Amino acid sequence: MEKEFLNHRLNLNRRHFLSKLSLGLGSAALGSLLIPDLFSGADLSGSDGKDLGLPHFAPKAKRVIYLFQNGAPSQLESFDFKPKLRDLWGQELPESIRKGQRLTGMTASQTTFPMVGSFCDFQQYGEARAWVSSLFPHTAKIVDDICIVKSMHTEAINHDPALTFFQTGAQQGNRPSMGSWLSYGLGSENNNLPAFTVLLSKGKGNGQGVYSKLWNNGFLPSAHQGVQFSNGEDPVLYLNNQEGMSKAGRRKMLDNLAALNQHAYEKVGDPEIQAKVAQYELAYRMQTAVPEATDLSKEPESVFEMYGEDSRKPGTFAANCLLARKLSESGVRFVQLYHQGWDHHGNLPNQMAEQAKDVDQASAALIKDLKQRGLLDETLVIWGGEFGRTNYSQGKLTKDNYGRDHHPRCFSIWMAGGGIKPGMVYGATDELGYNITENPVHVHDFQATVLHQLGLDHERLIYRHLGRKFRLTDVSGRVIEDLLV
């Protein structure tokens, strides 16, 4: 029997041997493409045992562009039309609607809460007959490509905790941002660019602060921190070689520094040492990749016309939207835009009209641009702020002027691409625009849904820290299946 088995093994022909060998080589090659460091000897498992760089299941989206409207745009002047408020202009908000709900310190001392309808007109657009205000004429033209969610809600009632909650899943700081979680779980598509980048712009209205803690890696390794791009000649500060330093000299310096750090790592075993070395190496590769990825000079005139005249001015929202498309197209996993100026406690009719003009054309152009390039299906685009605005006036109400205070009970955002159902309006609020009446979506639900579209289970994407397991959605959150294709 043993002799027959040996003869069988010896009689394997060359074709059979090579066909079997090719399967193994093919698998190895595929693995190295999916995980570039597969054969490097590095530890590729996260603190939850998950293989980093691989999703939990097949993703619908590869990357995210998040257009965060910092300061909280009013849903009542954008996507949640409430004609009843016009009929009841100046009348007191019924206690049966407010139900003693929490107010900010800016209106808690008001003795009256006069309701006020929107100053702008609304019309219905698209197959879903979505209501869009006259402040967003360009967005109105793409309603069949976006999903408007009118039933978002949050617990946070002030800007800093609300903004931090959306970005990190917690109202207090020192937690990893959503971009850092995606970098940790999926890595970068382009080894020459960071997985997570940040772009800032300012409108003409009242601005709320944007702080680096919003793109912080928190307790995750520092390699997952967001990289802020500036609006000057050097998109990433301190990236270029100093005068007198050649590329070869920098390479030699980094090699020697890596050797010293490796020696230190062998002594103390601190993973942050290896993370720092990885950051140095990424910065070296970025010296060539960043100028190419941020160069808008080769864009055709038709693209600038689509995004609007401001797209020619570095640092504007329009220019950052175009840059976001370029970065995403180059393989940046998470591109975060912050546009400040939406905090309209007073003079809302004038200030919001200017603010909407800043962002409307470029936001719509980004969707059209991605779509015509065949990238929208694999890119999830998000537009929205940290909470909504009250249906009553803050301060004095006049015929031509009013303000709105913070309102966490209900507000609107929109999403597009990345496996989100297009041409859909989800959720509803009462006729006075104060409470949700249909399909509420909490911040953690939103975060769970975003992770799901990138192939990540929010309950399994965890990191052990200080004796407990942390995740972006903390201890709650559910995927909103109704929003998915």
Q: For each of the domains in the chain, give its residue range(s) and CATH number, in order of start.
A: 61-237+295-481 (3.40.720.10)
Name the nearest CA neighbour of 193 among 278, 275, 280, 285. Answer: 285
C-alpha angle with apex 290: 286 to 291, nearest 5 degrees? 125
Give the pLDDT confidence score for residue 188 in this predicted structure: 86
Contact 303, 369 (CB under 8 A): yes
**CA dihedral of residues 275, 195, 458, 27 (deg, nearest 10):** -90
- Cα dihedral sign for 232, 187, 43, 191? negative
Quote the distance between the C-alpha of residue 200 and its chain's center: 13
HSE value, Cβ hemisphere, 13 Å, CA-based, for 196 = 23
HSE value, Cβ hemisphere, 13 Å, CA-based, for 448 = 19
Q: What letter does residue 92 receive in the DSSP assignment?
A: B
Q: What is the mean pLDDT of each run of 10 residues along the chain (485 residues)?
A: 44 50 45 44 54 87 98 98 97 93 91 96 97 98 98 97 97 93 93 93 82 93 91 66 69 74 78 73 69 87 97 95 96 97 96 97 98 98 98 93 97 98 98 98 98 98 94 97 98
Strand pairing category for 428-429 and 436-438: antiparallel
Q: What letter does residue 27 receive in the DSSP assignment?
A: H
Q: Tokens 């840059």 appear where?
A: 323
Give the pLDDT confidence score for residue 424 in this predicted structure: 97
Q: What letter does residue 215 receive in the DSSP assignment?
A: G
Structure tokens given for 110: 């008001």
Query: 340 forms bridges with which residues in the sheet?
Result: 70, 202
Structure tokens given for 146: 């976006």
3-state class (DSSP) for residue 195: coil
Contact 283, 275 (CB under 8 A): no
Instruction: Please tell me the distance from the alpha carbon of residue 458 to that of residue 375, in angstroms, as a whole number.
Output: 25
Give the pLDDT confidence score for residue 33 in this predicted structure: 42
Name the nearest CA neighbour of 188 among 107, 113, 293. Answer: 293
Neighbours of 395 (CB within 10 A): 16
Neighbours of 388 (CB within 10 A): 30
